Chains A and B, each alone.
Chain A
Amino acid sequence: MWNSRRLVLAHLWFAFASFGAALPLGEWQMFIRSPLHPWISDPEWYYRSVTAHGTTMAYVFPTLVAMGFGYFVTEQALRRPMVGLRWAWLGFALVVVGTIAAIVPVALGRASVLYTFYPPLIGHPSYYIGIVLVVVGSWVWVALMSINMYRWKRDNPGAPVPFPMFATVAGSYLWAWTAVGAALELLFQIIPVALGLRDTIDAGLARVFFSWTLHAIVYFWLMPAYIAYYTIVPRAIGGRLFSDTMGRIAFILFLVVAMPIGIHHAFEDPQIGSGFKYLHSVVTAVVALPTVLTVFTICASVEIAGRLRGGKGVLGWLAALPWRNPVMLGAALSFVMLGFGGAGGLINMSYQLNATVHNTQWITGHFHLIFAGAIVIMYFVIAYDIWPHLTGRTLDSFGLMRAQLWTWFIGMIVLTFPWHWVGILGMPRRMAFYDYTDPAIAPQALSVTMSVIGGAILVISGVLFFIVLVRGQTTLRTEPAVYRFSVAVRPPRTLPAALNGFGLWLGLMVALTIVNYGFPIAHSLATPGTAVPAVKVGERW
């Protein structure tokens, strides 16, 4: 039955290898623009590194984790061989080829445009084509998730789709629709210019398309972490999932409302009307709902575990929890970072408050706390939990795992809290050089130095993570028990059709997207004279 073991392992190894390569770049960037290092005099190196770090961490790493974990869930949750194994390998090959095609021009300094592209900056076409290949490879995964779920439903009429599979398919659909914005921008706007077919670009429209992708992509990154909260954490700590239905509703809500909110990234963009900015702000507020549902459900599930382990009283169950279990520890640390990051996110989505932090280091601090913190720590937890089932070897360095999770948490807090702070002080983002000798920003030197220390702790944590995995390749072979996901307190015997499929929710997702994006896109397309000359980077003339 266990057909996709090598496939999953290939995805996760490539994902974590790319993460390992990009992690030190982040720390180097933090270091060279800190007061600890003199100005490197050539900002191009800085932006080259930022592009490589962002492209790898945002496109390659989480996409591969989602794909690999999705294939794992497919076989383990549906309890049958996965359909389309060859196609899955083809998708993986596309991602690998795409990654190489994208990273080579970045390394050569021919595409230092940052992972968010920023037209009218235009880099080497291979960079963009590589990213398109990564996305196409991931769409193969989307199709396979869908096919596997529907074949299972066909063979098990009326039975509830196992929750892990339902959630994974929700994540895959979210990604499929999310990626469309950046795909349109790349295929119809950027790549023709990069290939020399056109020499002007409508940068405002490109930003609208990118915002389509830019916010929901974070929820795509989040999906494996959320799936792990629901399907791994309660089981790993000896508890039960509080509510299967609540979980399904949370993922459905993500699908419907996570997508049409991206214009809150473009609150300062003049080409978008204030009415649409308000609309996106409102729907962004709604997207807090599935997170609140999740926090409630998981806390309740964890409380069940605590009480099953003999915990009593209002808070006694907390002490009874298995804190030495890396899954418990990782999930708790993830929740703390999600709480702080979520609170910061509420500020970003508020039109007026956003104005004070827009384009400051606050934003970089925010998305590192959420993604690199709350989400990536759960990627580690997922790896620790499923690795023995992939390698057939025990993973027993529990002390190291705890040290790794703690250092990741501490490093991320030490990195991002001062980062938020200097943002409030007005420190702009995307700059390579800060003159700390100037009295106006000299007080920020201490905060930036603290962030450098936080980054160094993260690099150490990254090394510990690889030590754990490599040690796991050398331990004794064992035949791991059958993999189990969490079981709900009341496992569903039947479900309303709406909670067992996606037709209704995909319809709402597309409709809401049209309402929120249709007019701004149509208006940009219809307004003449909005294109500006492209600026090719990395070409001296």
Chain B
Amino acid sequence: MTRERIVSLRNPWFTRSVGITAAIAIVAAVVGFVWLPLQHPGERFKSVWDAICSAAGLVRNAAPGTQIVRADYPTTRVEIDPQMLSGASAESIGRGATLALRCTMCHGARGLSQADTPNLAGQYPVAIYKELLDFKTGARVSAIMAPLVADLSDADMRDLAAYYAYLPRVTSSGAAAGEAPPIVTSGAPLRSIAPCGACHGEVDSKASAAWLEGQPAVYLRTQLEAFASGARRNDIGEQMRNVARGMTAAEIDAASEFYARAQ
């Protein structure tokens, strides 16, 4: 009894259990990797091996002649991760301050604007860097900004981002923002609109989403309308275009005015 060998072709428990398990695996594999893929209408495999590779999940090149759709406009080239541009040096901030002298006409001496242009003081460095680069590559179109960024180097843009991020944000003027509108706190789930605050700071902050509190209402409204119409399209995943397209005019007004009040 105790000397009974388990791993032996004479032991029926071994042969049957291994045999049944192997049979189930083999039959399932033949069905799943060969028969089912070949039954798929619309899939044209060159060979059985091709079908097996497809069912195994191998990354395959598109079949010859397949039309690949590409955007017919410049798309953003900025790749962002959450740790990007954190921990700027004092030198970088200093260089940024010098470069920023040419921005003061519109964005204010300390990054605070009275001209309905964005307040840059305290803005996330990633947001500034991304927009500068997008203006330079044409991913974001602006007749005013394009010539100003044309001769900025990558290091210049990082320095500018560091400088503006370093400046103190708009201080509270005492005007209460009031209760946030539903579009900011809850979004509109049934229209697939996430809450503004889920990325822009009311609820959570996501990499590359800009700090919106205290920005001019006119600017925010214009940008939302530009996203909705497709005039602005430097959101690589179309996340802002999809959101703005689904927003009503009233929601665009409510969100813009709330963020302009909030400081």
A536 and B189 contacting across the interface, CB-CB below 8 Å:
no
Give A416 to B18 CA distance when docked, in angstroms.
39
Least CB distance from A155 to B in Å reads 12
Among B29-37, B141-149, B167-175, B217-225, the stretch in contact with A: B29-37
Give A278 to B124 CA distance when docked, in angstroms.
47
Give A274 to B82 CA distance when docked, in angstroms.
33
Least CB distance from B139 to A in Å reads 20
Tell me if A39 is interfacial: C-beta within 8 Å of chain B. Answer: yes
Question: For B1, what are the chain A residues with a Cβ–Cβ distance below 8 Å?
Answer: 158, 494, 497
A41 and B185 contacting across the interface, CB-CB below 8 Å:
yes
Give A499 to B14 CA distance when docked, in angstroms.
11
A438 and B190 contacting across the interface, CB-CB below 8 Å:
yes
Tell me if A272 is interfacial: C-beta within 8 Å of chain B. Answer: yes
Tell me if B72 is interfacial: C-beta within 8 Å of chain A. Answer: no
Among A20-28, A371-379, A471-479, A515-523, the stretch in contact with B: A515-523
Tell me if A433 is interfacial: C-beta within 8 Å of chain B. Answer: yes
Question: For B31, what are the chain A residues with a Cβ–Cβ distance below 8 Å?
Answer: 278, 282
Tell me which of B13, B82, B203 contacts A541 (CB under 8 A): B82
B186 and A274 contacting across the interface, CB-CB below 8 Å:
no
Give A527 to B56 CA distance when docked, in angstroms.
13
Tell me if A534 is interfacial: C-beta within 8 Å of chain B. Answer: yes
Size category, B interface: 35 or more
Give A336 to B37 CA distance when docked, in angstroms.
39
Tell me if B86 is interfacial: C-beta within 8 Å of chain A. Answer: yes
Least CB distance from A110 to B in Å reads 13
Give A519 to B13 CA distance when docked, in angstroms.
29
Least CB distance from B230 to A in Å reads 27
Tell me if A503 is interfacial: C-beta within 8 Å of chain B. Answer: yes
A497 and B2 contacting across the interface, CB-CB below 8 Å:
yes
Tell me if A341 is interfacial: C-beta within 8 Å of chain B. Answer: no
A523 and B13 contacting across the interface, CB-CB below 8 Å:
no
Known: A272-B57, A541-B205. A279 touches B28 (CB 8 A): yes
Total of A-B residue pairs, C-beta within 8 Å: 128
Tell me if A410 is interfacial: C-beta within 8 Å of chain B. Answer: no
Q: Scan residues 491-541 of chain A and give those whose CB is less than 8 A from a CB of chain B.
A: 494, 496-499, 501, 503-505, 508, 511-512, 515, 519-520, 523, 527, 533-536, 540-541
B58 and A523 contacting across the interface, CB-CB below 8 Å:
yes
B29 and A501 contacting across the interface, CB-CB below 8 Å:
no
B32 and A278 contacting across the interface, CB-CB below 8 Å:
yes
Give A512 to B31 CA distance when docked, in angstroms.
17
Give A505 to B6 CA distance when docked, in angstroms.
10
Give A256 to B1 CA distance when docked, in angstroms.
24
Question: For A278, what are the chain B residues with a Cβ–Cβ distance below 8 Å?
Answer: 28, 31-33, 36, 55
B32 and A282 contacting across the interface, CB-CB below 8 Å:
yes
The winner among B24, B28, B80, B188 for most chain A CB atoms within 10 A is: B28
Known: A39-B185, A43-B203. A435 touches B190 (CB 8 A): yes
Question: For B190, what are the chain A residues with a Cβ–Cβ distance below 8 Å?
Answer: 435, 438, 440-441
Tell me if B59 is interfacial: C-beta within 8 Å of chain A. Answer: yes
Question: For A41, what are the chain B residues with a Cβ–Cβ distance below 8 Å?
Answer: 185-186
Question: For A277, what are the chain B residues with a Cβ–Cβ distance below 8 Å?
Answer: 32
Interface size on A, residues (CB 8 A): 52
Tell me if A275 is interfacial: C-beta within 8 Å of chain B. Answer: yes
Least CB distance from A265 to B in Å reads 16
Tell me if A313 is interfacial: C-beta within 8 Å of chain B. Answer: no
Tell me if A421 is interfacial: C-beta within 8 Å of chain B. Answer: no
Tell me if B52 is interfacial: C-beta within 8 Å of chain A. Answer: yes
Question: For B24, what are the chain A residues with a Cβ–Cβ distance below 8 Å?
Answer: 282-283, 286
Question: For A200, what are the chain B residues with a Cβ–Cβ distance below 8 Å?
Answer: 81
Least CB distance from B117 to A in Å reads 24
Least CB distance from A278 to B in Å reads 3
Tell me if B154 is interfacial: C-beta within 8 Å of chain A. Answer: no
Known: A274-B36, A440-B190, A523-B56. A515 touches B25 (CB 8 A): yes
For B187, give the chain A residue with the smallest CB separation.
A433
For B1, give the chain A residue with the smallest CB separation.
A158
Question: For A268, what are the chain B residues with a Cβ–Cβ distance below 8 Å?
Answer: none
Q: Residue-by-residue, is B75-107 near A (CB-CB < 8 Å gives 1, otherwise 0)?
A: 000001111001000000000000000000000
Known: A435-B188, A496-B4. A534 touches B56 (CB 8 A): no
B59 and A527 contacting across the interface, CB-CB below 8 Å:
yes
Q: Scan residues 7-26 of chain B and give those whose CB is less than 8 A from a CB of chain A.
A: 7, 11, 13-14, 17-18, 21, 24-25
For A42, give the chain B residue with the smallest CB separation.
B203
Give A433 to B197 CA distance when docked, in angstroms.
14
Tell me if A340 is interfacial: C-beta within 8 Å of chain B. Answer: no
Tell me if A199 is interfacial: C-beta within 8 Å of chain B. Answer: yes
Known: A42-B203, A501-B6. A434 touches B58 (CB 8 A): no
Q: Residue-by-residue, is B178-203 near A (CB-CB < 8 Å gives 1, otherwise 0)?
A: 00000001101110000000100101
Known: A431-B189, A435-B189. A273 touches B58 (CB 8 A): yes
A533 and B6 contacting across the interface, CB-CB below 8 Å:
no
A504 and B56 contacting across the interface, CB-CB below 8 Å:
no
A512 and B189 contacting across the interface, CB-CB below 8 Å:
no
Give A227 to B46 CA distance when docked, in angstroms.
52
B205 and A44 contacting across the interface, CB-CB below 8 Å:
no
Least CB distance from B47 to A in Å reads 15
Question: For A19, what are the chain B residues with a Cβ–Cβ distance below 8 Å?
Answer: none
Question: For A501, what are the chain B residues with a Cβ–Cβ distance below 8 Å?
Answer: 6
Tell me if A359 is interfacial: C-beta within 8 Å of chain B. Answer: no
B189 and A273 contacting across the interface, CB-CB below 8 Å:
no
Tell me if A271 is interfacial: C-beta within 8 Å of chain B. Answer: yes
Least CB distance from B58 to A in Å reads 7
Known: A44-B203, A523-B56. A157 touches B2 (CB 8 A): yes
Give A157 to B4 CA distance when docked, in angstroms.
12
B189 and A434 contacting across the interface, CB-CB below 8 Å:
yes
Question: For A433, what are the chain B residues with a Cβ–Cβ distance below 8 Å?
Answer: 186, 189
Q: Scan residues 269-295 of chain A and give those whose CB is less than 8 A from a CB of chain B.
A: 271-279, 282-283, 286
A275 and B205 contacting across the interface, CB-CB below 8 Å:
no
Tell me which of B4, B28, B59 contacts A497 (CB under 8 A): B4
The winner among A275, A276, A494, A540 for most chain B CB atoms within 10 A is: A275
Q: Besides A275-B37, A498-B6, A541-B124, 6 other CB < 8 A contacts? A: A274-B54, A275-B56, A278-B28, A499-B13, A504-B6, A523-B57
A interface vs B, CB < 8 Å? 39, 41-44, 157-158, 199-200, 256, 271-279, 282-283, 286, 431, 433-435, 438, 440-441, 494, 496-499, 501, 503-505, 508, 511-512, 515, 519-520, 523, 527, 533-536, 540-541
The 9 residue pairs across chains A and B that have the minimum distance between CB atoms? A273-B57, A275-B55, A278-B32, A498-B13, A533-B81, A282-B28, A275-B33, A497-B4, A275-B32
Q: List 7 A-B contacts (CB under 8 A).
A: A273-B56, A273-B58, A434-B189, A441-B190, A496-B13, A504-B7, A540-B205
B interface vs A, CB < 8 Å? 1-2, 4-7, 11, 13-14, 17-18, 21, 24-25, 28-29, 31-33, 36-37, 52, 54-59, 80-83, 86, 124, 185-186, 188-190, 198, 201, 203-207
